[in-house]
């Protein structure tokens, strides 16, 4: 019986004169996310976004739309002409339909009246509709205004009436593409996919950079990262992954630098390569999954030395999070099961027995003088593979 899905946004509503920019981008992103289902009518009306359901499966629409950043909740609803008596009847029909499949003993009505010419206030509407529902259904059904099993929501607007029973949570945030572009250093672990997802949730478009050490790392390892990128694409749309073989650089570091500096110098090369590619692709920042103290290169001293290798900002959304918190998000967004598949990555190649945990920038830069840094970076980028990731 539903004919629309309501999509609600949150902080977009306080964007002032720029609000329409965010609204229009959100509508466009919703349309793009629903393309696989067909050509649906998505439109904004008086501070709301509606998706016409018609012959489409509303549950599939909600499942896809809830992944669109900027949406805080969705509701399958019935939308019709401004008619209060019909609004009461539709509320009754929705509640009866609910009671056919669930044991409902308590309910409440929450009304909203934006049509100020209507004779009742919102509170009076709730009382009137609630009384009507009780009189029509009877039995053991009771009103519970504090913890109802079902909340019947009725809206009387100037342009239409709307009725619905549930709100399905979205992820919130800001519409993708409203806050620039970032280059995510994506590994096969748990952290970096979560970091990319969190930055995308704030409206940042993503490009991906992945490092491998083939043939020391396998094709399966690369395929695992591509699968993680595909999962991210369910939230971010089409993604482009730049795949760089770090092995030639690692061999040079292993031969010309101290063993304990292997990890931190490798990390600096990763950042330098990512920055060069990022700038060429119009990215405004790098994004990593680093968290303070999680591994040897992620001490404050290590992060400081890593930061010094690049000039553009580095976003670390997980920086103060515990591993358990990161795992919870990974499970929620669907990357966890893929991330824990046991495959080697480039960081395990030439892994020092005792990596330096408090590196000094002066010493690291002195060691790097033994390497032709720019040549190694240029060769790595020249041999880079680029893959477009889609569902």
What CATH number is associated with residue 330? 3.40.50.620
What's the domain range around 317?
181-389
Does 63 lie in the same domain as 41? yes
pLDDT at site 347: 66
Residue 235 located in a structural domain: yes
Does 333 lie in the same domain as 236? yes
pLDDT at site 346: 65
The reply to whether 164 sits in an annotated binding site is no
What CATH number is associated with residue 8? 3.30.70.1510
The reply to whether 242 sits in an annotated binding site is no
- Collapsing DSSP to helix, strand or coil, 232 comes out as helix
Does 294 lie in the same domain as 274? yes
Does 39 lie in the same domain as 138? no
β 150-156/106-113 pair status: parallel
The reply to whether 170 sits in an annotated binding site is no
Does 87 lie in the same domain as 77? no
Residue 62 located in a structural domain: yes
Indicate the residue among 149, 171, 193 that finishes a domain.
Answer: 171
Residue 176 located in a structural domain: no
Residue 315 located in a structural domain: yes
Residue 286 located in a structural domain: yes
Does 238 lie in the same domain as 336? yes
Does 75 lie in the same domain as 114? no
Q: How many domains does the chain have?
A: 3
* Pairwise CA distance, residues 218 & 204, whole Å: 31
The reply to whether 185 sits in an annotated binding site is yes
The reply to whether 127 sits in an annotated binding site is no
Does 186 lie in the same domain as 151? no
Does 206 lie in the same domain as 229? yes
Return all residues near 189 (Cβ < 8 A) that are at least 6 apart. 289, 339, 345
DSSP, res 70:
T
Helices 300-307/361-368 angle, 10° precision: 50
- Collapsing DSSP to helix, strand or coil, 185 comes out as strand
Nearest Cα residue to 110 out of 55, 70, 177, 166: 166
Does 121 lie in the same domain as 206? no
Q: Each residue's pLDDT tens digit in the chain (391 positions)?
A: 899 999 999 998 888 888 999 999 999 999 999 999 998 999 998 878 999 998 789 999 999 999 999 999 999 999 999 999 999 999 999 999 999 999 999 999 999 999 999 999 999 999 999 999 999 998 889 999 999 999 999 999 998 999 999 999 999 999 999 999 999 999 999 999 999 999 999 999 999 999 999 888 888 999 999 999 999 999 999 999 999 999 999 999 999 999 999 999 999 999 999 999 999 999 999 999 999 988 878 999 999 999 999 999 999 999 999 999 999 999 999 999 999 998 777 666 677 888 899 999 999 999 999 999 999 999 999 999 999 998 7
Residue 117 located in a structural domain: yes
Does 87 lie in the same domain as 72? no
The reply to whether 9 sits in an annotated binding site is no
CB atoms within 10 A of CB 229: 25
Residue 59 located in a structural domain: yes
Per residue in 133-147, pLDDT tens?
999 998 889 999 999
What CATH number is associated with residue 144? 3.30.2130.30
Instruction: Tokens for 95, please give them.
Output: 């509640």
Does 281 lie in the same domain as 188? yes
Nearest Cα residue to 334 out of 58, 145, 67, 48: 67
pLDDT at site 55: 79
Residue 311 located in a structural domain: yes
The reply to whether 239 sits in an annotated binding site is no
């Amino acid at each position: 019986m539903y004919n629309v899905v309501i999509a609600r946004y949150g902080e977009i509503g306080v964007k002032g004169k720029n609000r329409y920019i965010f609204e229009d981008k959100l509508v466009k992103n919703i349309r793009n996310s629903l393309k696989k289902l067909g050509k649906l009518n998505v439109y904004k009306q008086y501070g709301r976004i509606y998706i016409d359901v018609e012959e489409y499966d509303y549950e599939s629409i909600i499942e896809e739309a809830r992944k669109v950043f900027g949406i805080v909740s969705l509701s399958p609803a019935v939308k019709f002409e401004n008619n209060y008596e019909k609004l009461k009847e539709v509320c009754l029909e929705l509640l009866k339909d609910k009671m056919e499949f669930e044991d409902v003993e308590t309910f409440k009505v929450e009304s909203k009246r934006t049509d100020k010419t209507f004779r009742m206030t919102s509170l009076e509407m709730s009382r009137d509709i609630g009384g009507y529902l009780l009189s029509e259904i009877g039995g053991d059904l009771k009103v519970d205004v504090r913890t109802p099993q079902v909340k019947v929501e009725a809206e009387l607007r100037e342009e239409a009436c709307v009725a619905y029973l549930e709100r399905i949570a979205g992820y919130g945030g800001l519409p993708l593409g409203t806050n620039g572009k970032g280059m995510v250093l994506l590994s096969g672990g748990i952290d970096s996919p979560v970091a990319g997802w969190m930055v995308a949730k704030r409206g940042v478009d993503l490009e991906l950079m992945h490092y491998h050490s083939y043939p020391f790392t396998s094709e399966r390892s690369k395929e695992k990262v591509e699968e993680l990128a595909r999962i991210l694409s369910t939230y971010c749309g089409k993604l482009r992954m730049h795949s760089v073989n770090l092995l030639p650089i690692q061999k040079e570091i292993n031969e010309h630098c101290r063993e304990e500096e292997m990890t931190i110098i490798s990390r600096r090369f990763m950042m330098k390569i990512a920055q060069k590619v990022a700038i060429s692709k119009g990215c405004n920042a790098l994004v990593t999954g680093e968290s303070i103290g999680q591994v040897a290169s992620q001490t404050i001293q290590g992060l400081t030395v890593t930061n010094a290798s690049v000039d553009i900002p580095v976003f670390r959304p997980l920086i103060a999070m515990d591993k358990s918190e990161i795992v919870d998000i990974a499970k929620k967004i669907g990357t966890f099961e893929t991330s824990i598949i046991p495959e080697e990555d480039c960081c395990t190649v030439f892994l020092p027995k005792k990596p330096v945990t408090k590196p000094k920038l002066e010493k690291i830069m002195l060691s790097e003088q033994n390497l032709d840094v720019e040549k190694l970076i240029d060769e790595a980028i020249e041999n880079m593979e680029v893959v477009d990731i889609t569902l």
